[in-house]
Each structure stands twice: as C-alpha cells, then as structure tokens.
Structure 1
Amino acid sequence: MSGVVERWARDTARAAVGVAGAFAGMKAIEVLRPPVIAGDATAPENDVGMRELPRAYFFSAGAVVAAPALGGPTLPRVCGPLGLLLEVASVGLRVWAMRTLQGHYAHTLRVVDDQPVIRDGPYRYVRHPGYLSVVLLWFGAALSSRTVVAPALTLTAVGTAYRHRMDAEDALLRRELPGYAEYAATTGRLVPRPGGR
C-alpha cells in the first residue's frame, strides 16, 4: 500500500510542477509583452472569452493536479519531462509571435488605423500562434501528470475557450482588416495547412 501512496505523491508533485510551470509561463509571457499600440477596445467581440479563459486555466490546473488521484491509464515516463519542455517551447512560440506583431499584440480585440496583415514569423504558418502557444502550454502541464485524463480535460477546457476567442477575433478581422479574409483562406488557425504558406 505504501508503494501506491508513494507513486500517487510523486505523480501529484510532478503534476503540481507542471501547473506551476504553466502559470510561470503565462507570467513570463506578460513580462515579455511589447508595448501595445493604442486603439479602440470597444469592439463587441472584445468580451468573448475574457471570463471563459481564466475559468479554463483554473479548471485545467485542478484537473492536472487531481488526475493522479483519479487513477486510470498512465502515460510513459518520458511524458513528464516532455511536458515541461513543451511548456518552455510554448513560451518561446508566444514571444516569437509577440515580437513579430510588435505593438499590435494586445489583450483586446481591435483593429487600428493602417494595421497590416502580418504574414511573417509564425504567422506565416498559422493565424493564431499566440493562442496555440497557450494551448500547448497547458497541454505540457497536463502531460507532466502522466495521466491520460489530464490532457483530455485540459485540451477540452482550454481548447474550447480559445475556439470561442478565435471565432470572435476572426469575425472582427474579416470585417475590419483589409486582406485578412484572403490570408485566412490560405493559413490554418492552429495547424499549418498542407500546401499553405
């Protein structure tokens, strides 16, 4: 019985490190964010996801830490360190996206005068690399628990919240940003399109 308790304690500690890494990664992203070009933040789409995203993060954190206690199938040992590496890589992706967009990378959904459609850096491959980075960040945290249930719950919660946010952002950009519809037709949201850029 003590072996089961030791394994549970070890797996829970590993999951807690993964969750701490996710929150630390999100803090690092905010610290590294470039200054934002001022603009109108009153678009009706702006509120979409703003309350849903924090709920998804905290639900995911709870799911990751609780998953070892739930039992069920486990993932290979390599998934623990792989999850932590994925968290670091996802912060790198977000920083790359922010630096590519420069002052246009904002919390709010808005279009400012003379805003271009960016097709460089990670935007050459996907339309929403910043959102992809946070999905990968939380997926990495979930992998660190080495359970099957944590990644499933985390991808469902965070993925659904970001899908709603992407729907709102795409609608706004198609309506307000000249050239975005053509860009969207050739570039995938989170996964590069075969034969795309």
Structure 2
Amino acid sequence: MFTRWLFLSLFVFMWVGWLALWRVMAFRVKATAQSESVPSRLSHLAPLLFAGYLLAAPQVPIVLLNGRFVPLAIWPVALGAALTFAGLLFSVWARFELAGNWSDFVQVKHDHELIVGGPYRWVRHPIYTGLILMFVGTALAVGEWRGVVAVAVAAASFWRKLRLEEAVMRRQFGETYAQYAERVPALIPFVL
C-alpha cells in the first residue's frame, strides 16, 4: 500500500511540477502578433483535459476501460515513471530552447524566431514528443485500457495542433521552414 502511494505521489509531483514550471515560464514570452481563435484552442485543449481525466480518475464509468493491459506489478510503474520523467525533461528542455517564442496556443510572436537547435534538431515539435512520452509513461503505470485511450486522444490532439502550427510556420518562415520540415521529422526522431 505504501509503495502504491509513493508512486502515485511521484506521478502527481511530476505532472504538477511540470504544470507549475510551464505557468511560471509563460510570464517570459514575447508579445503576441497573431493567435488562433478560441474555438480552435478548445478543439485541442478539451481532448487533452479528457485524456488527463482518463489517467487521473481512480476508475472510469466504462468498465471495459478499467481492465488491465499489463500485469499488476512494480515493473510497469517503475518503467512508466522513467518514461514520464524522460518526457518531462525533454519537453522542458524544448521549452527553454524556445524561450520567448513559446506560446500555449497557436500564435505568432512579435520578432518570432525559428528555433532549430537543442531538441529541435531531432524533431520539429519536441514539447509534444515529451508530453506524449509523459502520457505513455503514466498510462503504463496506470496499466489499464483507459490509459491506452488517453494516449491515443492526447496524440490525436497534439497531431491536430501541430498541423495548425506547421501551417503558421510555413506562412511565417516560408522556404526556410519548408527545408527544415523536409530534414527534421515532426514527432519521433528519424521516423515521423
């Protein structure tokens, strides 16, 4: 029982710590020049909140989703914690690289710069890569089918948002972004 509580606390600490850092860092961004609409924001934020609910709830109303896809053992939780922490570090590294160019919604900043260093050398959207890894790690630790659904919902939401960002970046940076997109995959190094 103590071990379960310890691991639960670890995951809460990682996710809440990530969120707190994100909110603090949001105060140091450039002014917005152009932003997506509120309905567009909600179209990728609402699925993420739903995915978070699937992972955080003790159980969900659809009984089938509360079934296990991995055995009830320590190894899925430990591996899940390692993956969650790795995703957290990767997304935070990417966030630091973006600095004042970051925004939580699809936006263009005044004096927006195209960042291609740090984790942006390997993937065009490393924050999403890190967050998907955090969802995968947490889902593995939960070990129930609702975690698999949460990962699928989160990945679909990030895919939709990155497509919007890609269109904005192509308009903003033209051929420079097109060449960058041609040589660097969107989410998974050397693959996608």
Q: What TM-score does the superposition give when structure 2 sets the normalisation length?
A: 0.78
Provide the residue aligned with 2:138 in structure 1: 141
CA change 1:71–1:50 in 2 (3 A) is closer
Paired residues, number: 184
Q: Deviations over 1:140-176 (max 9, x none)?
A: 11111234x2442121111111111111111111122
Quote how far apart the aligned CAs of 1:18 are: 6.4
CA distance in 1, matches of 2:140, 2:82: 10
Change (3 A) 1:71 1:107: closer
Which of 161, 165, 169 is equivalent to 1:165? 161
Larger Rg: 1
8 Å Cα contact 2:54/2:146 also seen in 1 = no
C-alpha separation in 1, matches of 2:161 and 2:59: 27
Q: Which amino acid letter does the alignment assign opposite residue 35 of structure 2?
A: T
Q: How far is the alpha carbon of 1:23 from its aligned partner?
A: 3.1
Runs of 4+ aligned structure 1 residues displaced above 4 Å come to: 9-19
**Structure 1 CA distance for aligned equivalents of residues 14 and 162 of structure 2:** 21
Q: Considering only aligned residues, what root-mean-square deviation do their CA atoms show, in Å?
A: 3.1
Unaligned runs of 5+ in 1: 1-8
Q: CA separation of 1:17/1:142 partners in 2, compared to 1, >3 Å: closer, same or farther?
A: farther
What does 1:27-176 align with in structure 2 at a 5 Å threshold? Answer: 27-31=19-23, 33=25, 35-44=28-37, 47=41, 48-62=43-57, 65-66=58-59, 70-75=66-71, 77-147=74-144, 149-176=145-172
TM-score by length of 1: 0.76
Using the aligned pairs only, state the percent identity.
23
Listed as ranges, the gaps of 5+ residues in structure 2 are none
Distance 1:112 1:40, change over 3 A: same
